Structure 1
């Protein structure tokens, strides 16, 4: 620990080691000396199946800030109060981001029905709802149901990223399930607009031109967030 703390190059090296142990199906435990103790890091947990993730998201949450905030205005809450998280995880492996560490590199998907039920709950329970869903997204806007074509290959893979330096040939990049989800969400009674505010991976998006057309026609609220690895050199290297 002390060496990593004091040396930026070793810190980067340690981060890379961590990224290479993010596949829950083949990751090895990591041990770091920390003073007179050792810190043991277990491999990531096995991703939740869709039914399990639905169960997590459909608990009776209040969707309200903690009561200790009282009547205080919380800008971060107002930004996401009418948004819906449709998935967890990211396989981008970007050097500037820690999502892989706390959500996993394998995408965990909610079902379309579960997502629509949450949209309906927002409509029915939020007094501030004006008909606009501010986001259907997650760590990335368009990785929902994107996964490796082979469970066997996925379980053996040691690559930190599925999209760097190019999209892996084993990655299913089909975005048509998102088109179906967006259309169904737009059709919910009482919903006037569904925006996509999460950052877009357009290297994946352009693999399905119909998705880009659907997104731009119906779901862009003035600005479309583009993940920085598409415009800046270095973030994925």
Structure 2
């Protein structure tokens, strides 16, 4: 009889297999070509057309989502966010070259608090679980890079909780620009976020307000969080 560990080894994609699947997905997006906002075929079609397993496909989709090349909405599908290399597409790339980090953060202050407000109004229980899961993963991240990936996932989970595909698309575009503008401007002095990292408590307040279905508190908590991040990283709000 095959034990659990052996079965897990048989079903888990090997690293080389995952890389091949990521490359195949990038090629599919580039060859069609898909535009930002276009929906990819369902998973069952991608499994057949790419000749890979469901587990391998999902790992590859996870990788492209972390890069910012795609975004996923539960129940609606997988959508192209930009070029498969994770860089902003077209006009977004031009925007990222024109914005300072502070102006980028001010744009976030205009948009993300309103998204948090909508999340508090519309979030399903599954969406709240997703927010809490991303929050926990951010808190336990072992490096700044891992933390930033989970912080991305948390903010995106909040946008997804709005159940508004236009707001989610706006968030994804803003987030692509944020990556391009901010990542090279931030200097870290430790290997990982400290236990007392202010964002942890700020995330707690945002998630609690959404879970309590309190739109005003969620909007205020997100506004305070982004202002705090801007002040810590760039000295301005």
TM-score normalised by the chain length of structure 2: 0.23
| Bigger CA radius of gyration | 1
Name the structure where strand makes up a greater proportion of residues: 1
Name the structure where helix makes up a greater proportion of residues: 2
TM-score normalised by the chain length of structure 1: 0.23
